[in-house]
Structure formats: C-alpha cells, structure tokens
C-alpha cells in the first residue's frame, strides 16, 4: 500500500495560471522529493526538500514542507502546455523511496 | 552520459510463464531500484540493490526476484506470471546509497494474457 496521497487527483488549468499540488504522508522522512512523468515514460526528478527545510525554490517550482502536518505542496508558476504530465511526491524513508498516488496536470494552451 | 536503459521496451507473455527484465544504470551508479506501476496501485517499490546486495525489498510475493551484477547492471525476474502482473516496470539508478535523486529508465511494459 502507498504511504503518500496526493490531491487533487487531476487538475486542469489554462496556460499562464499557477498549479498547486498537495501531498500527505504517514511515516517519518529524511527528505521529500517531487518527480514528473510524461505519459507512460520514466520519471524525472524535479526537486528535493530535506526534513529540516520549510521551503525551496527551483526556477518556476516552489515546494513547501510541514513535517508537523506530514504534508508538502508543489507550486508551478506561470504554467506552460509542456508542463502537462503526472506529478508524484516521493518520501525517502529507510532505504526506499515511497511514491504518492500522483496528480495528473493538464495545461490547456 | 547515457541514461538508464531498460530492455525490452514491450513484452507480451501468457499466464504461467516467467520473464526477465534488464536494466543498465547510468555509468558510475551503483544503486538500482525497481518499481511496478499500475493504474490501480500506482508506483510500488519492489527492491533495491547496491553493490550486488539487496538492501531493501517491498511487499511482493517470492515470485518476484532480482539480482545485481558486478558491473551494476540489474535484472528482475517474475516467475509463474499472473494477469495482475501486467504493469509498467521501472528501473532507477542512483550514484549513492541515499536515494536523494533517482534517475529512471523508460520502463518495460509487460502484458500478461
């Protein structure tokens, strides 16, 4: 069973708008990562936030982490059609990376 | 540097058969992890190898096994295939033991008929 849940399951926005995805988890973690997957292909690492960090930025990405609530969010600003993909959070705990259920993002041109 | 290479890309088998999937990690990466991805269960961790040793294993039956060779290449084997084994099998490599950034291959799409 998965130890991470994401919401929303699906998100449809217009190009230029911001997209926010949320991740909740159950176990203690060393770090939390976000990955992107384009239609049935491999996953691509986007960003990592450590358990002692609260916020991190990378280009148009902003990640927050609240370890007291066991939750994280990923914000993609000024979205583009090329951002259309599935996004997964992944919790690093005990030598393995456990993935959340994913959010399918559709960015309409 | 070449990325993570998984072969074959597509595979069709029938129930009861066995299958071996191959993964070549990025040069210099010594950690290899395997994941099963299905629409219903999402991404499920299978196992992870580092320097030919299995460090961790997910909750899968003994029909699922793997190994890693001295050149870090890895194989996973599924015996006595069941319909429910139909999935995208993803391999990922990492340069260290910390799993801080995994590099994924494009996967092997297995269909069991």
- Condensed to tens digits (0 to 9), the pLDDT of residues B24-46 reads 999 999 999 999 999 888 899 99
Summarize pLDDT for B42-55 with one digit per residue, the tens.
Answer: 899 999 999 999 99
Q: What is the mean pLDDT of residues A86-107?
A: 91
What pLDDT score does B100 carry?
86
Query: Contact B102/A44, CB-based, under 8 Å?
Result: no
pLDDT at A2 over 60: no
Residue A3: predicted pLDDT = 66
Distance from CA of A65 to the nearest CA of B (A): 16
**Cβ-defined contact of B45 to A96 (cutoff 8 Å):** yes
Residue B113 confidence (pLDDT) = 96
Dist CA A86 CA A11 (whole Å) = 10
Number of A to B CB contacts under 8 A, please give it. Answer: 61
Q: Which chain B residues are Cβ-neighbours of A88 within 8 angstroms?
A: 43
The alpha carbon of residue A28 and the mean position of all alpha carbons in its chain are separated, in whole angstroms, by 17
Q: Do A2 and B4 touch (CB under 8 A)?
A: no
Cβ-proximal residues to A24 (8 Å cutoff; 6+ apart), any chain: A4, A5, A6, A69, A70, A71
Interface residues of B toward A, Cβ cutoff 8 Å, are 4, 33, 35, 41-45, 48, 55-56, 58, 88, 90, 92, 97-107, 109
For range B80-94, the mean pLDDT? 97
Counting other chains too, the contacts that A64-69 makes at CB distance below 8 Å and 24 or more residues apart are: A65/A32, A67/A29, A69/A24
- B4 vs A94: which has the higher pLDDT: B4
C-alpha A88/C-alpha A103 separation (Å) is 7
- What is d(CA B104, CA B101) in angstroms, rounded to the nearest whole number? 10
Interchain pair B100, A92: CB under 8 A: yes
Select the residue of B33, B100, B107 nearest A42 (Cβ to Cβ).
Answer: B107
């Amino acid at each position: 069973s998965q130890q991470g849940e994401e919401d929303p399951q699906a998100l449809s926005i217009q190009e230029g708008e911001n997209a926010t995805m949320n991740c909740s988890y159950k176990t203690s973690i060393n770090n939390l990562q976000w990955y992107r997957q384009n239609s049935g292909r491999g996953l691509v690492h986007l960003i990592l936030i450590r358990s002692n960090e609260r916020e991190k930025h990378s280009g148009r990405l902003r990640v927050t982490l609240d370890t007291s609530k066991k939750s994280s969010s990923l914000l993609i600003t000024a979205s583009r059609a090329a951002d259309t993909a599935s996004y997964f959070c992944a919790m690093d705990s005990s030598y393995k990376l456990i993935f959340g259920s994913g959010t399918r993002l559709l960015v309409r041109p | 540097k070449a990325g993570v290479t998984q072969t074959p890309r597509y595979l069709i088998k029938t129930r009861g058969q066995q299958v071996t999937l191959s993964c070549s990690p990025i040069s210099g990466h010594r950690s290899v992890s395997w994941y099963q991805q299905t629409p219903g269960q999402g991404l499920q961790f299978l196992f992870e190898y580092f320097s030919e040793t299995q460090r961790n294993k997910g909750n899968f039956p003994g029909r699922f096994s793997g190994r890693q060779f001295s050149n870090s290449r890895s194989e996973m084997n599924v015996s006595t295939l069941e319909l429910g084994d139909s999935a995208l099998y993803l391999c990922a490599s990492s340069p260290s033991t910390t799993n801080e950034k995994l590099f994924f291959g494009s996967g092997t799409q297995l269909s069991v008929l």
